[in-house]
Structure 1
């Protein structure tokens, strides 16, 4: 658990809790918002969902799940999305994952605190300690530590910490002063093909360990443990799938009962295979369309 540190309290009007999704993650975002409303203890903080291609029905469901949250659903503009043109995606991660690399720009804020949550998380305790965390002059706080495998794969200096980017606390002023959005996008563009975890790897390379390490209770992934969990994160098979082995899956399904997806059957292993096939088809047709455009006479 975070130690109690006497720091000036931020006004909640300066605080944002944010996620970013396309249509494949609407259910997860809905359940996450429901848990955030029940357990997040964020009162008047601004909650923002950045949307890529959501339908009006999707948005209606999210609004329903948000309860009394000060929730804004923000459609990503073509101008914003163009920044991600050509960046690496796969059947699990779409272009919307790169949104976390430019959050202060998208929100138009110059100071304050941003809490970023992956949509495939559930909040089971107050997020207020993250809003009041002393960031020690660093731009980001996250769960992480020293991993020799990560250091070697990302070619980082020995002893460099790496982090999981599924839950982030961002000091907006420090982020902007270091121009981290530009640095992260530059990493993805120049090293994209060698990055295994795309945006997360870009953050780790750009930060070179310069982040505040927080207790793993803020990002409890598969095979990790916390005595007093605050956020569970379904990093492998998703909690609406028969393949999920995360011990918090029953809790996710319990919360899901209060959402529009209450009676939706669990996905089978065939769904994952279909998603991979569909992604391959989309990439193929994208290349074919681009080739046709290049051949088209002016």
Structure 2
């Protein structure tokens, strides 16, 4: 596609740039997110930026298919050590992997390409129109984001000693690229991460909240409607029950909507958008994939009073956990 940096500023503003930071395994999940955006925003102009450390030829080919299928632009940004050069000594001397810093390079890479960019986690589905984000007045702030769940916000602002008592979930951020660069947000976040603070539970999300305190415009929850499938399934609730309006549903937590074995209604929503994507021929997860999921599935089955199946999956969990312990021991 044509490099968006070659277009006039006015033309750039008509394009909504959306960025994902994923590993190769998550690229197909991202495909469903993109399909959901396009299904609910027909005729709108998007460029999707995929930030990866590596990507298979097959996934690269399917990303390219998004352009023909939906009439969008795509740009793959393979992150190499040079892009982390300014963070190298922090990465080398800290407990964090390079992946922790990935979101921090997005504005630098897109400077001159996009005036603003929407960052999205790949466990988000779009169920509404996003046009408002193209022209949303950021009121002089660097980013717009949504408050995290009330319990999380109270705990994190206390732990981090945040004077504003406001804490956002970084799964969705609308970023003013120039303002981010001018304020040195990446550098401020890296400084937090390199400080060896013991109160950083959520790593770069905590660091971004500290770096962006008083620089964040807080949006309605519809822009990052956090939905916990575990809470539903532990009460044997299998209907998707949204509390209020939603544009982006964020399936945060350890159970994702591509886990068909849960039987939750959210899996049907995900399967619909997955089928629209270039990865639609790939199977979704019909059974738990690891010992943690096996244990959760055992609990879910117990809530459904399927006691025999629950016990069988609990034994599978124990066997898998023992096998893993032997392999790593």
Give TM-score scaled by structure 2 length. Answer: 0.70
Assess if the C-alpha contact under 8 Å between 2:15 and 2:45 holds in 1: no
CA deviation after TM superposition for structure 1 residue 96, in Å: 3.6
Please identify which structure carries the higher helix content: 2
Asked whether the equivalents of residues 125 and 250 of structure 2 are also in contact (C-alpha less than 8 Å), the reply is yes
Query: Unpaired runs of 5+ in structure 2?
Result: 1-9, 229-240, 294-320
The answer on 1:227 being equivalent to 2:244 is yes
Distance 1:269-1:191 versus aligned 2 partners, 3 A rule: farther
Matched with 1:64 is 65
Contact residue 83 and residue 105 of structure 2 kept, 8 A: no
Question: Residue 16 and residue 257 in structure 1: after superposition, are their counterparts in 2 closer, same or farther (change >3 A)?
Answer: closer
Within a 5 Å distance, the mapping from 1:167-182 to structure 2 comes to 167-182=172-187
Unaligned runs of 5+ in 1: 1-8, 285-298
Please list the CA deviations of residues 102-125 of structure 1 after superposition, one character each: whole Å capped at 9, or x if unmatched. Answer: 222111338721111111111222
Alignment-derived partner of residue 271 in structure 1: 290
Say which one has the larger Rg. 2
1:53-81: CA deviations, max 9, x gaps? 11111112223345311111121122124
1:141-220 counterparts in 2 under 5 A?
A: 141-144=144-147, 147-157=153-163, 159-191=164-196, 194-220=199-225
How far the C-alpha of 1:226 sits from its partner, in A, is: 4.6
CA distance in 2, matches of 1:243, 1:155: 41
- Partners of 1:234 and 1:246 within 8 A in 2: no
Q: Is the 8 A contact 1:217 1:226 kept in 2?
A: no
TM superposition shift of 1:186: 1.3
Partner of 1:98: 101
- 2:3 is matched with none
Aligned pairs (5 A) from 1:31-70: 31-40=32-41, 43-65=44-66, 67=69, 68-70=71-73
In the alignment, what sits opposite 1:29? 30
Contact 1:240 1:266 in 2 (8 A): yes
| Partner Cα separation in structure 1 for residue 165 and residue 214 of structure 2 | 5
Of residues 258, 273, 290 in structure 2, which corresponds to 1:240? 258
Which secondary structure does the structure 2 equivalent of 1:170 belong to? strand
CA RMSD of aligned residues (A): 3.2
State the Cα distance separating 1:228 from its structure 2 match: 2.7
Matched pairs, number:
267
Instruction: Determine if contact 1:47/1:70 at 8 Å carries over to the other structure.
Output: yes
Residue 44 and residue 270 in structure 1: after superposition, are their counterparts in 2 closer, same or farther (change >3 A)? closer
2:14–2:134 Cα contact (<8 Å) kept = no
Q: Give me the whole-angstrom Cα distance separating, in 2, the residues matched to 1:10 and 1:138.
A: 23
Partners of 1:10 and 1:226 in 2: how far apart?
A: 37
SS state of the match for residue 290, structure 2? helix
**What is the deviation of 1:215?**
0.8
Q: Distance in 2 between matches of 1:198 and 1:40?
A: 33
- Return closer, same or farther for 1:63/1:256 CA change in 2, 3 Å cut-off: same
Per-residue CA deviations over 1:243-294 (Å, capped at 9, x if unaligned) read 76976332112211233244514154343659xx9xx99xx9xxxxxxxxxx
